[in-house]
Amino acid sequence: MNSLEYFSLFLGRLRRAAIGGLLLMVGLMTIAHGDESPDYEREARLAEQIVDDIFDGEPVWLEANEHSFLAIHTLTEDEPKGSVVILHGRGYHPDWPEVAGPLRVGLVDAGWSTLSVQMPVLEKGKKYFDYLPLFQYAHQRIEASIHFLREQSEQPVILIAHSCGAHMANDWLNNNDDTLIDGYVILGAGATDYKQEMQTGFPFANMRVPILDLYGANEFPRPMAMLPERKELLKQGGNTQSLQQHLAGADHYFHDSGPGLTQAVADWLNTTDF
């Protein structure tokens, strides 16, 4: 084999190695970031399962990203003090019985109309990193929900978000300002999966509206370790009505804590000037 043939063989091997490395990188990125769009079929199945069993409130279909998504609109009997948008946690639905369901019904009794929103979901078993590409879809759903309520009333609109819904809300707030809302309630903030570091920071320091950072006393260890950081960010935000508060006996998912959760949120809503 002469030197030219050897050089050609070397370049071929180098090219194949580079292509192989690129394919491996793409594969790893796919594993890390998961699907690039919501599982709309699963969302349709979730809607089918819950819509016929809604006794309080009415299902409404809103538009975002050229797709319809379900929300449950529940009105007060009298003039409301305002409205809240409720974002559920990962893989659940707007009537999830641990958080979204109790809040969307219970806050109505406290004088607040509610709009509980179906957030983007993936198939079961997906983790925090898999959901990161879905945050961009969540942005439009949050804004569509807020605009829907603004068309109904000029009263304050408060955003309430739990767990992965809170990650989505934080990402929206980090990429926009908070002028579309009048207050923010964040529940179970900062929870991710094992060895998956949080990619979306807390926006509190740059927000003008009052914030309630509510967590269960039996929250996961990593979110609990973030409490001093979150408290400092609330302080930097400068709103004197912002509050960090724990709920005794509650865990991250607020299992069996619906009444206490609703009361804590309602008390803050009804003692805060918006």
SS3 per-residue string spanning 83-145:
EEEEECCCCCCCCCCCCHHHHHHHHHHCCEEEEEECCCCCCCCCCHHHHHHHHHHHHHHHHHH
- Secondary structure (3-state) at 219: coil
Q: Are 110 and 266 in contact (CB under 8 A)?
A: yes
Does the model's pTM come out above 0.75? yes
- Is domain 37-270 annotated with CATH 3.90.420.10? no
User: What's the CA gap between 29 and 144, in Å, rounded?
Assistant: 30
How high is the pLDDT of residue 3?
Answer: 43
Per the model's pLDDT, the better-predicted residue between 30 and 140 turns out to be: 140
The predicted-structure confidence for 47-58, as pLDDT tens digits, reads as follows 999 999 999 999
Q: In 3D, which of 216, 211, 207 has the Cα closest to residue 250?
A: 216
For 242, other C-beta atoms within 10 Å of its C-beta total 22
- Confidence grade of residue 36 (pLDDT, cut at 50, 70, 90): confident
Strand order in the sheet with 243-251: 58-64, 67-74, 112-117, 82-87, 157-162, 183-187, 211-218, 243-251
The predicted-structure confidence for 197-248, as pLDDT tens digits, reads as follows 999 999 999 999 999 999 999 999 999 999 999 999 999 999 999 999 999 9
Average pLDDT over residues 178-183: 97
Instruction: Name the token pair of 113.
Output: 């109309």
Confidence check: pLDDT of 18 > 60: no
